Chain A
Amino acid sequence: MNIVVCIKQVPGTTQVKINPETGTLIRDGVEAVVNPFDEYAIEEAVRIKERVGGGTVKVITMGPPQADAALRSAISVGADEGYLISDRAFAGSDTWATSYTLSSAVKTLGKVDLIICGKQAIDGDTAQVGPGVAEMLNIPFVAWVRKVEEITDTSIKVERLMEEGYDVVEMPLPGLITVVKEINEPRLASLKGKMKAKSAEIKKIDTTNMTVDPERVGLKGSPTQVFRSFVPERKSGGEKISGEAAELAQKAAAVIQNLGVVK
C-alpha cells in the first residue's frame, strides 16, 4: 500500500491575536506548525500502513524552503519519506494552481494507491485543494472521512461525516480522501522517530524535475486573487451582569424572549 499525504505548514493559530490598537494580526513569536487536520491525515496513513502490514507513507508539501520542518515533523510520527515542492515559479498560487502543482508532483512519486489530505488548512480554511488534486489526477474522492472501515488493495470503505449523520461510502483505489478530526488521535513522536526525522533526506521537487504547464502554475495559473483584506470589526462585549443564579436566569429569559427567536 503506497500512501501519499499532502500537508501544509501553517501559522500556529493559537497565538494569532489581534493587536487592539492597530487592529492587525500579532505575529511575533508565531511558530509554524503542521496544519492540525493534516496531523490526522498523517496518523491515518501510518495506521493504514500498519494495518495492511506494509507499504510506504510519503508526505508531500508545497511551500517555502522552511516547510521542510513540517515534513520532518511528519516523519517523526511515522511517515517514511518527505518531498518538498518549492520553486519561485509557484509563488502566488491559489487553490487551483496549488491543486495543479500538487497533482503534478504526485505523478512523480511512482505508484500511489491512496492519497490522504486533512479536510482543510486552518489558515485559509478553503477545503478546496483535496478535491482539486483528486479531480486533476482523475481519481475518485470522498470528503470528510471520519472512519476507515475497511481497506484492501483495490478499494476502501469509509464513513463520510454529513450534516445530519454519516454516509458509508465505498471507493475503488487509487483514490483520495480528506479526513476530519474525529478519525483518530495522532500519536506523539518517539525519540527514535525524532532521530529519524532529523537525519531524513527531504527530496526536492521543482520545475527542473517535474513537468508542469508554466501557464497553470503560480500567479499566472491562479484564477483568484485577493482584492482586499481587512480585519473584521470585533463585536464589543455587551452587558455583563452578576448576581444570584435565579436573577441571572430571569434576566436572560427576558432577553431571549425579546429576541423573538423562540417559537
Chain B
Amino acid sequence: MGIQVSLEKCIGCSLCVRACALNAITVAEKKAVIDTAKCNMCGVCVEACKKYGAITITKDSSAKINVNDYKGVAVFVEQHEGKVAGVSFEMLGEGRKLADQLGEKLIAVLLGSGMEAAANDLVKFGADKVVYFDSPELARFRDDTYAALMCEFVDADKPAILLAGASAIGRSFIPKVAARVWGGLTADCTKLDIDTEKRLLLGTRPAFGGNLMATIIAPHHRPQIATVRHKVMKAAVRDDSRAGEVVVKRVDASKITERTKILDFVKEVESTVNITEADIIVSGGRGMGKAENFSYIRDLAEALGGAVGASRAAVDAGWIPYSHQVGQTGKTVCPKLYIACGISGSVQHMAGMQSSDFIIAVNKDPAADIFHIANLGLVGDALQVLPELTKAFKERK
C-alpha cells in the first residue's frame, strides 16, 4: 500500500510537480521523486500523470461491508418551523436524477412534528418513498436526536447514497452520522454525478477557497454521503401525478436522549440578513468609506428585493454585523445576481461569491481584481453610482 513512481513509465516531465499542492514531488535524474513525509496521497499527481500512468496509489480498505447490500438514494429533508427548506427541494431534484441514473429508488427522510401533509407532498416532488419521523421533540433541530434517527434510518433502509443540504443544520449533524456508520462523507459539493460503470457517487467540491476542485469517491463504504451547497442544484418541480409510499414513524419521546438543550432562538434584526437564501445580494466593502454609507447598499438591496452582504474589511471596521460577511471566513453564497460595491476582490472574498450566476462590480479602481470575475464592471465611485442605480430601478418599476 502506498504511492509509487514507475521508473520505466516516468519521463521526468514535471507535470506531477506542478500539480502537487503540497510541494511533495521533485524531479531528480529525470524521474519524479515523492517525499512521503509531505505527501498526503491525495491523488492529484496520479490524475496529472494520466497520459503516462507512471504514478499509482494502491489502497486496500478496511471496510468489511458488502456494498451491494446498499440501494437507493436518500435525501435528508430539512425543515424550519414546519416548513420544508428550499435547499431540500434542490436535494430532491438532484436525488431524483441520481436515482434514475442508478435505476434505484429515491427516499426522502423528514424529521418534524405535525408535518404529515408536507411528508405526503414529498412524493409529488419526486420521492418514491418517504420516511417521516414524527414527534413534538423533532419540531426543532437537535444534534443528538437528528443524528440518532438518521443512523436508525441508515441501518434499516441501507441507502447507497445520502444527500443533505450543506446548511448550518446539515453540516452540523451529518458528520456525526458519517462518523458513526463509517460512511464516506464529502462536504459542500457543487456537482454530483454517478460513475455508471462502478455505480459510484462522484462528489465534486471546491477546496483551497475555490482555487482547486476535487472529485471525491467512497468506493468501499456505505452510504456515500454528501452535503450539497445551496442554490447550485435545480429544485424539484411538483408533479401531482406522482405516487409513492409514505411511512410515518411515531417517535417515542422517552426514547430520545438529547444532551444539548435549546433555550431560545433569536432572529437577527435585519430582515435582509439571510444572504445564503437570497437570489440577489448587494455587497459593500472598504470603498464604502464609512458605516453611514451602507445605507446606499441597503437602499439598492431593498429596491431590488435582495439581501445585504459585506466584505471582511467592512465587517472588521464595524460597519455591519458578521452575519453579512461573504468570503472565506464568512459565508459562501451563489445568488443569481451579486453586486460588489467598493470591494477590490481579495482571493478570500472571491472564494465566497465567485460561483454567483451574474456579477456586477462597482469600483473606482479600474485595476481592481474584482473586475476579472465580474460579468459587468462599472468603473466609478460606488457612492455616486448606487443612488443613481437605486433611482433608475425605482423608475423602471
Residues of chain A at the chain B interface (Cβ within 8 Å): 11, 13-14, 16-18, 22, 24-25, 27, 36-37, 64-65, 88, 91-96, 99, 122-132, 134-136, 140-144, 146, 157, 160-172, 175, 180-182, 215-216, 219-221, 223-232, 234-246, 248-253, 255-257, 259, 261-263
Complex CA distance for A186 and B196, rounded to whole angstroms: 49
Q: Please determine whether B396 and A91 come into contact, CB atoms closer than 8 angstroms.
A: no
Complex CA distance for A128 and B371, rounded to whole angstroms: 34
Q: Please determine whether B260 and A242 come into contact, CB atoms closer than 8 angstroms.
A: no
Residues from chain B with a CB closer than 8 A to the CB of A263 are 305
Q: Please determine whether B263 and A127 come into contact, CB atoms closer than 8 angstroms.
A: no
Partner among A95, A224, A227, A240 whose Cβ is within 8 Å of the Cβ of B371 = A240
Complex CA distance for A259 and B330, rounded to whole angstroms: 27
Partner among B214, B274, B373 whose Cβ is within 8 Å of the Cβ of A237 = B373
Segment at the interface with A among B33-41, B123-131, B239-247 = B33-41
In the complex where A140-B144, A226-B43, A262-B305 touch, is A241 in contact with B379 (Cβ < 8 A)? yes
Q: Interface residues of B, CB < 8 Å — how many?
A: 115
Most chain B CB atoms below 10 A, which of A163, A165, A235, A259: A163
* Additional 15 contacts, C-beta under 8 A, given A125-B206, A129-B175: A11-B21, A95-B185, A128-B171, A130-B175, A135-B176, A141-B172, A182-B322, A226-B44, A228-B47, A229-B43, A229-B207, A246-B388, A248-B379, A251-B378, A253-B392
Closest 5 CB pairs of A and B: A223-B184, A249-B388, A223-B221, A240-B377, A215-B62
Q: Please determine whether B172 and A131 come into contact, CB atoms closer than 8 angstroms.
A: yes
Q: Please determine whether A227 and B202 come into contact, CB atoms closer than 8 angstroms.
A: yes
Q: Please determine whether B262 and A162 come into contact, CB atoms closer than 8 angstroms.
A: no
Q: Would you list 25 pairs from A and B whose C-beta atoms are within 8 A, ordered by A residue? A: A14-B346, A22-B18, A24-B18, A25-B21, A92-B59, A93-B40, A96-B179, A96-B185, A125-B206, A126-B188, A127-B188, A128-B175, A132-B176, A146-B322, A162-B168, A175-B259, A182-B322, A228-B44, A231-B213, A235-B373, A237-B377, A245-B384, A255-B360, A257-B396, A262-B280
Complex CA distance for A180 and B87, rounded to whole angstroms: 22
Residues from chain B with a CB closer than 8 A to the CB of A167 are 262, 264-266
Complex CA distance for A157 and B264, rounded to whole angstroms: 11
Residues from chain B with a CB closer than 8 A to the CB of A261 are 279-280, 336-337, 358
Verify if B235 is at the interface (C-beta below 8 Å from A).
no
Q: Nearest chain A CB to B379's CB is how many angstroms away? A: 4
Verify if B219 is at the interface (C-beta below 8 Å from A).
yes
Residues of chain B at the chain A interface (Cβ within 8 Å): 1-2, 18-19, 21, 23, 36-44, 47, 57, 59-63, 80, 143-144, 147, 167-169, 171-173, 175-176, 178-180, 182-188, 202, 206-221, 259-268, 273-274, 276-277, 279-280, 304-305, 322-323, 325, 328-330, 336-337, 346-348, 354, 358-360, 362, 366, 371-381, 384-385, 388-389, 391-393, 396
Q: Please determine whether A237 and B372 come into contact, CB atoms closer than 8 angstroms.
A: yes
Q: Nearest chain A CB to B324's CB is how many angstroms away? A: 11
Residues from chain B with a CB closer than 8 A to the CB of A17 are 211, 347
In the complex where A91-B39, A255-B376 touch, is A123 in contact with B263 (Cβ < 8 A)? no
Complex CA distance for A34 and B172, rounded to whole angstroms: 23
In the complex where A124-B207, A140-B260, A170-B263 touch, is A228 in contact with B43 (Cβ < 8 A)? yes
Residues from chain A with a CB closer than 8 A to the CB of B337 are 256, 259, 261
Q: Nearest chain B CB to A106's CB is how many angstroms away? A: 14
Residues from chain A with a CB closer than 8 A to the CB of B212 are 25, 229-232
Partner among A128, A168, A220 whose Cβ is within 8 Å of the Cβ of B266 = A168
Q: Please determine whether A223 and B274 come into contact, CB atoms closer than 8 angstroms.
A: no
Complex CA distance for A230 and B206, rounded to whole angstroms: 10
In the complex where A125-B187, A165-B268, A181-B330 touch, is A236 in contact with B215 (Cβ < 8 A)? no
Partner among B167, B209, B376 whose Cβ is within 8 Å of the Cβ of A16 = B209
Residues from chain B with a CB closer than 8 A to the CB of A256 are 304, 337, 360, 393
Q: Please determine whether B259 and A171 come into contact, CB atoms closer than 8 angstroms.
A: yes
Residues from chain B with a CB closer than 8 A to the CB of A227 are 43, 202, 215-217
Residues from chain B with a CB closer than 8 A to the CB of A242 are 366, 378-380
Partner among B18, B178, B215, B330 whose Cβ is within 8 Å of the Cβ of A96 = B178
Q: Nearest chain A CB to B231's CB is how many angstroms away? A: 12
Residues from chain B with a CB closer than 8 A to the CB of A230 are 47, 212-213
Q: Please determine whether A220 and B60 come into contact, CB atoms closer than 8 angstroms.
A: yes
In the complex where A164-B268, A219-B59, A253-B393 touch, is A143 in contact with B42 (Cβ < 8 A)? no
Residues from chain B with a CB closer than 8 A to the CB of A169 are 260-263
Q: Nearest chain B CB to A146's CB is how many angstroms away? A: 8
Complex CA distance for A175 and B144, rounded to whole angstroms: 12
Complex CA distance for A146 and B330, rounded to whole angstroms: 12
